[in-house]
Structure 1
Amino acid sequence: MARYIGPKTKIVRKFGEPIYGVDKTLEKKNYPPGQHGINRKRKKVSEYGTQLSEKQKAKYTYGVLEKQFHKTFEEAARMGGITGENLLKLLESRLDNVVYRLGIAPSRAAARQLVSHRHITVNGNVVNIPSYSLKVGDVVAVREKSKSLEVITESLAGKRNRYPWLEWDGATMSGRFLQKPEREDIPENIKEQLIVELYSK
C-alpha cells in the first residue's frame, strides 16, 4: 500500500502548518525538515511549485493518494459551479472524513482504520470503504458492538468542534450528514484555486 506512514511532524514542518491538528513541533522547529533545514535559504518558489505544494497539502490533509485525488478533481469539474469548492465538498463528503468530523475518531487516519475494520455503519449497514461518498440525509453511526472501543469513547469525550453540515446524537452515537458544506464552513487552510490552476495546465 502506497499510503504515507512516515513521521507526520516531517510533513507538518514541510508545509509549516498543523495540517493533522494541533502540533507543538512547529513551536520548537518552525523550519523545513532535513539536515540543513534550519540553514536552508528559502528560494523563490515558482508558480508551478506553489500550485503543486497546495495539491500535496490537500492530499496529505485528507489522506488521499494521487490517482484517487485526480479522479475526485475530475468529478468536481463535471459538477458545474466552482470546481475548487466542489473538490473540497467531495473530500469533506468522504466517509472517513465525516467519521473524523463527528468526533468518532481523533484523526482522519484513525477514522480510516475504524471504517476499514467494519466499526462504522451508514444507514444501518456496515460500510468498510473509507472513500465512500455520503449523500445528504445519510446517517453515520458506530456499530453496536464497537461502541465501547476505547479509541472511540476517548475521542468522543474530547469532542469539541461542531459543524453546521453535521448533526450528532450522543445517545445513539450517530450523526446525520445534513448537507454538503459551504466553503466558509470548512476550516482547512487550502487554496483550492491553485489546485484548479495546476490541473488546468
Structure 2
Amino acid sequence: MSQSNPLPLIARAPVIPVVVIERLEDAVPLARALVEGGLPLIEVTLRTPVALRAMSVIAAEVEGAIVGAGTVTDRSQIEAVVEAGATYIVTPGTTPALAQALAEAPVPVLPGCATASEAMALDALGFKVLKFFPAEPSGGAPFLKGLAGPLPALRFCPTGGIGPSNAPDYLALPNVVAVGGSWVVPGDAIKAGNFDKVRELSAAAAKLPRAAKFD
C-alpha cells in the first residue's frame, strides 16, 4: 500500500469545508475567505462541471489553501483530481475496486464508510482514517462513540448533516479528527458574493475545540 497517512493533514483544522462550486469565478475568493477564516483544508466536490478547474485555480492562486477532491467514486477520477492540484481525496463510500485504487493513490485519502463492517474492511486494508458518511442518518455521534471500543485504532471525519449545533458533539469524541460540513459555505452567500459571511462562519468554526490528540 502506497497511500500516505492523512492524519497530519486532516488534523490541521477542526472543520473541513465541503464546497460545491457552481461558478469558476467564485473559486478564488471563496477559498481565500476560508483560509483567512482559519479553515485551510477545502474539499471541492466533483458535483459540477467546473470542479476540476476550480481545484486548479485555488491550488495555483490561493496561498495557504490545501485543496482536496470530494465525491470521488471511480478509479478514473483519481488521476484527474491529482493533476488538477488535489492534495487529498475523499470518497462518499468505498467499493472493493475503489479501495484498491485508493491504496495506490499518490496523495492521502479518506475513504468513506457508513457501517462497522465497512470500517473493519477498510481497516483490514490499512486505512486508519475514514470518512463517516452520511453521518447523521447513519447513527451520528453515538455511533462513532460506540465504535471507539471495538475499533480503537480508527479515526474518523464525519460528514453529512453536521452544522454548528451538533459539530461539538462529534468533536468531543477522541476518535474524531475533524468534521466535514457545508454550513461554512452557504450557497446563498456564495451566489451573492458575500465572502465576508464565509470568512465569519469559518472563523467561528476554526475555534471549535476537539478532544482528539494527534501526537
Q: TM-score, normalising length from structure 2?
A: 0.27
Greater share of strand: 2
Q: TM-score normalized by structure 1?
A: 0.28
Higher Rg of the two aligned structures: 1
Larger % of helix: which? Answer: 1
